[in-house]
Structure 1
Amino acid sequence: EVIKAWDIGVATMKRGEISRFISKPKYAYGLKGLGDKVGSADIRYLGKDISDERDQSIVRRILRKGEGFEKPNEDATVQINLKGTHQGQIFDERTVIFIAGGGCLQNVPLGVECAVFRMTKGERWKLYLKSKATQGVEKFHIPSDLPVEYEEDKFLSDEQKLKQSEILKQRGDEFVKGGHYELAIKKYKTVYNYLLSASLRSSSDIEQSRQLKFASQSNLALCYLKLGDYGQCKRACDNALMFDSQNEKCLFRRGQCQLAWGNFHQAIQDFETILKLNPSNAVAKQQIQACEVKKKELYNSTRKTAVKEDTMDKVRNISHRIVS
C-alpha cells in the first residue's frame, strides 16, 4: 500500500531513472500528514535479474544499447573493458581479452562471464553481483554484493571468425580421433554458426568458408551416426550435401540412417547414387544387398503374420458356426 503520488509518479518513470517526487497533501497523507515520518525519497531501479536461478545474484542494467542482435558463442574471442567497484571504491579496472567459456583463466568473475553471452556488440552494462556470481574476485578480498560495470565489448571480425573456425575444426577433429564425439559436436556446431553470420569478400575466403561449412556438417553427421542419433545425422548430411551434392561419405551416411529406420527404398536410392559416382564402391554394393535382404525378411514376416491372422479368422468363423 502506497500513497497516490507514488502510483502516479512511478508510472511516468523510465528504466534506469532516479526520481524525486514532491506531492501535494491530497495525493499523500492529507493536511495533517504523519509528522516527521514523511520525507522525500529516491526510487532506484537496479535492473533485470539475469541469473539462471533467478536469485538476484546477477542483476543487469543497460547503460548503452549495442548494435544488432549478434551475441558471442562459446569459444568466441571477446574483448571487454571491465571496471569493478565495491563500496564506492574501484578495485579492478582493465581491458580483458579471453575466450568465452574460459574467462576464469583471466580472473573474470563468474557473473561477468555468464552475462557476456547475452551482450551485443558495443553494449555497455552495469552488473550487480553477489553470492556465487562473485566467484573469481577472491584475490581482491571482496565479499558478496559486488557491483561490476561493463564499459565496452568487442567481437571477432568476419576474417577472424574464419581463422577461429579453422582452429575449432581442428579441435573437433582431435576429439573425433579420441572418440569424444559429444565434445566434437560442440566444436563443429560453433564453426557452422560462426560462418553463417560472416560476410566475406575475397573469393579465397568465401571458398574456404564453404569448405569449412561442408566439413563441419559432414563431421557432425559422422559424430551423430556414432552416437546412434539418426535424425540429427540425416539433417547434418542434408546440410553438407547442399555444399557438395555428390559427396560419397554423406550419401553413404544418409543411406545408413534410412536403412536403420527401415526405409529401404530411400536407402537404396542413396547407395545407387554412390555407385553412379563410383562404380567400384564395394561397400555401397554390400549395403544394397543388405537392403534387399531386409526387405525380403520384412515381406516374409508380414506375409506370415497376415496368413496367421487369416487362419485365426477362419477358425473363429468355423467355431461360431458349430456353436450356432
Structure 2
Amino acid sequence: MATVSFASQDNETFLVVGTGKDMIVNPRQFSAGFIHVYRFRDDGREIEFIHKTKVEEPPMALIQFQGRLLAGIGKTLRAYDLGLRQLLRKAQAEVAPQLIVSIQTQGSRIIVGDVQQSVTYVVYKYESNKLIPFADDSVARWTNCTAMVDYESVAGGDKFGNVWIVRCPQKASEEADEDAVGAHLQHAREYLHGTSHRVSLMTHFYTQDVPTSITKTNLVVGGQDVLLWSGVQGTVGVFIPFVSREDVDFFQSLESHMRTEDPPLAGRDHLMYRSYYVPVKGVIDGDLCERFTLLPTDKKQMIAGDLDRSVREIERKISDLRTRSAF
C-alpha cells in the first residue's frame, strides 16, 4: 500500500493498493495479482475506486518515485504511470534474484530488498528510461525491512533477528550518478552472477526479535537522527550514532567490563549471544551498559576506577546519551 502523487495528474495524490488472488503464503501460490488505484475524496475521509491493473504476481512493495509508481512484482522492478483505464507501464528491469519485498528511493537511486538475497542498488536513467542495477551484496540476507541511512548506506533487518547496515563503494556510487545514459553500467562485466560491484558490511547486531520495520527519524526536538526499529514480539528499539571517538572508546570499555562483571543467569557468553549468526560489528550493546546502575556498589566503584571516572559520572553519561537522542 502506498500514496502516490502522479505528475501526469497535476501531482494529485492517489491511494495504491497491491492485492493477490487465491494466495497461499507457504508454499507461495497465487492465481493473479492486482494493483488497485483509489482517489481521495472529502479531504481524505472517503476514497473512490478508479481502476485495477492485473499483474503477473501480487506486488510486495509499492512506493512513489519521481511522479510515478514504482512496484516490486516478483523479481521485476516496474515503473507505472496513471492511465484512464489502467496503469501504464513505463520502465522495467529484473533486478532481484528471488522476490522484491521492500523499495527505498532517494533522488534517482533505488534500493531494492530481496526476500532472500539482501539488497540491490538500482539507478534510474531518465534519458534512456532504464532501471540499471549496479551494486548488490555477497551475503544472503533474508530481508524484512530496509531504510536509507544516507545516499550510500542502507540499514535493514532480516528474518533471523539481525539488524545491519551495508554501504555501496564510493567509486561505484559516483559512476552510477555520472553517466547520464547508463551505457557504461549496462555493459559492465558481471561478478559472480551478480552486479559489477559489492556492498560492504558496516555494522551487524543480533537483536533476538525479528525486525518488521526500520526507519531513520528524530525522536527529540533538536536531537540527532536515530534508527528506530520495531519487532514482531512488540520490541521497539533505537540505534543511536556516536558523534565523538571519546564516547566510542568509553562505551566500548564499559561494555567489556559489563560482560565480565554482569554475566547472564544461564551463563551464556554475551559476545556469542550478540554474534549469534554473524560476529557483532560496529555496535555497542546499550542494554548491557545500562545494567551498570543495577550492579552492587563495590563492582561499580571497581569499574569506575578502571575507567578513571566517578560512578556518578558514568551513570550521568549513560542517561545523557538516552535523553539527548531518544527518551
Q: TM-score, normalised by structure 1?
A: 0.26
Higher share of residues assigned helix = 1
Mark the structure with the bigger radius of gyration: 1
